Chains A and B, each alone.
Chain A
């Protein structure tokens, strides 16, 4: 009872402070991230959040920070007071008195200190446990699940409609979720340990080989939220990012409908596209799937609706014709060590394949 009162007082006290901190923090983050932040609406920043899960966690973060800062200040003041209040020995007393003495009493201070510390720690532990319990499950049961698989160094996302298995599809690196609705995320790894982290929406959840971990996301504001693998997983760990688009419900449903469709068939009389598709199936189809064609590989991202994505290779490059051509021609220079090899392509083949990819919207 007293604990929860103390907690609520604390929460109120910090809420004002938190806003000041958020503004300052956002300004600093904005400066530091510069151009990168310009592409996503939220940079990798966890002190301002946009969903119920993030809100609760951010309050705890600010609360613990406030307590910690208070303790550091208090201790510093006490140490300073002790230093300046210490009695200096007169030269005459030097021989007769010990420089350090152990007078009796003073235990009361120790008891008081212990009591205060214990109380503060208990508040912090209980508050933390309470937050953990609160964010464990969303308020309402999510309408669908995204099965996210971490792979060196990109994210596969399989959208699963629990009521209708035929409405399942696969995409990569850019998740879409409906604004204001919780979404369940089921996490698996194809190789090593990764960690799923969209800081403006929720804390980290580890992605562990041989184990399924679950978490959930909810964004209450339309926007683009950047995510990042948060567990070192090999050379390209830093380029294993993702984007989460929170779309209005209507937009989200039509996005899902669109993703279910196979790729458009190419016009019969377009020679360039015909060659492009043929070459794609031949040279890329062993690793990439384009539904509706013979390309059915699973080692790389599903490219059926690749042009709906704004970025290439787990947010390594923006998706423009220039960057895309450069990626296909020399992926090992753009993201050294990644699992897409440089392929033997001629200029005309590269050109034809890129033209073909540009039809995959």
Chain B
């Protein structure tokens, strides 16, 4: 009986923690790296980055059109042009044609917040 109660308490605590995480995810801003990454992963799937890139952790992202994005968090340059900083990644993702005119990567319609979320996910690929 006692162990059952204890189990209940632990389960309850876990649920609370999970619920907390969930709530945090929904209001993702710069101050919430976990939420940003999760949202970034969703965006990467929705925008079809995986038709061109191999991206760890994204379902079906096996593309062979552009470079694989494993370890992109550690890469020195973005597209061989920009220093790999969060700001530059945002610039690249929002308008790749402005950085390397005529390259094969399209503007996928990310706004600034979305670009930062995608960048947060990419940064975690080390």
User: Does A330 lie within 8 Å of B63, measured CB to CB?
Assistant: yes
Closest chain-A Cβ to B111's Cβ sits at a distance in Å of: 14
User: Does A320 lie within 8 Å of B102, measured CB to CB?
Assistant: no
A321 within 8 A of B: yes
User: Does B48 lie within 8 Å of A351, measured CB to CB?
Assistant: no
A104 within 8 A of B: no
User: Does B48 lie within 8 Å of A333, measured CB to CB?
Assistant: no
Q: Which residue from chain A places its CB closest to the CB of B100 in the assembled complex?
A: A347
A323 within 8 A of B: yes
Q: Which residue from chain B places its CB closest to the CB of A325 in the assembled complex?
A: B106
B34 within 8 A of A: no
Closest chain-A Cβ to B16's Cβ sits at a distance in Å of: 25
A234 within 8 A of B: no
- The one of A321, A323, A325 in contact with B104, judged by C-beta atoms closer than 8 angstroms, is A325
Q: Which residue from chain A places its CB closest to the CB of B102 in the assembled complex?
A: A348
Q: Which residue from chain B places its CB closest to the CB of A350 in the assembled complex?
A: B104
Closest chain-A Cβ to B60's Cβ sits at a distance in Å of: 10
User: Does B51 lie within 8 Å of A321, measured CB to CB?
Assistant: no
Interface majority SS (helix, strand, loop, mixed), chain A: helix
Name the B residues within 8 Å of A350 (CB-CB): 104
Closest 10 pairs between A and B when the two form their complex, measured CB to CB:
A326-B51, A322-B48, A348-B102, A323-B48, A347-B104, A322-B108, A329-B65, A325-B106, A322-B47, A326-B52
Report which residue of B46, B47, B97, B106 has the largest number of chain A beta carbons within 10 angstroms of its beta carbon. Answer: B106
User: Does B65 lie within 8 Å of A321, measured CB to CB?
Assistant: no
Name the B residues within 8 Å of A321 (CB-CB): 48, 106-109
Closest chain-B Cβ to A132's Cβ sits at a distance in Å of: 41
User: Does A329 lie within 8 Å of B52, measured CB to CB?
Assistant: yes
In the complex, number of A-B residue pairs with CB atoms less than 8 Å apart: 65
* Residues from 77 to 119 in B contacting A, C-beta threshold 8 Å: 97, 101-109
Interface size on A, residues (CB 8 A): 20
* Residues from 295 to 347 in A contacting B, C-beta threshold 8 Å: 317-318, 320-327, 329-330, 333-334, 346-347
User: Does B97 lie within 8 Å of A320, measured CB to CB?
Assistant: no
User: Does B102 lie within 8 Å of A327, measured CB to CB?
Assistant: no
Name the B residues within 8 Å of A322 (CB-CB): 47-49, 51-52, 106, 108
* Residues from 42 to 81 in B contacting A, C-beta threshold 8 Å: 46-52, 62-65
- The one of A320, A346, A348, A354 in contact with B47, judged by C-beta atoms closer than 8 angstroms, is A320
Chain A 101-141 interface mask (CB, 8 Å, partner B; 1/0) = 00000000000000000000000000000000000000000
User: Does A351 lie within 8 Å of B64, measured CB to CB?
Assistant: no
Q: Which residue from chain B places its CB closest to the CB of A319 in the assembled complex?
A: B48
User: Does A330 lie within 8 Å of B103, measured CB to CB?
Assistant: no
Q: Which residue from chain B places its CB closest to the CB of A331 in the assembled complex?
A: B51
Bound Cα distance A321, B48 (Å): 8
Name the B residues within 8 Å of A329 (CB-CB): 52, 65, 104
Name the A residues within 8 Å of B49 (CB-CB): 322
User: Does A320 lie within 8 Å of B104, measured CB to CB?
Assistant: no
User: Does A351 lie within 8 Å of B51, measured CB to CB?
Assistant: no
Name the A residues within 8 Å of B63 (CB-CB): 326, 330, 333
Name the B residues within 8 Å of A317 (CB-CB): 48, 51
Given contacts A325-B48, A326-B51, 7 further A-B contacts (CB under 8 A): A320-B108, A322-B48, A325-B51, A325-B52, A330-B51, A347-B102, A351-B103
Name the B residues within 8 Å of A323 (CB-CB): 48, 51
Q: Can you offer 5 A-B residue contacts whose CB atoms are under 8 A?
A: A324-B48, A325-B48, A325-B65, A329-B104, A330-B52
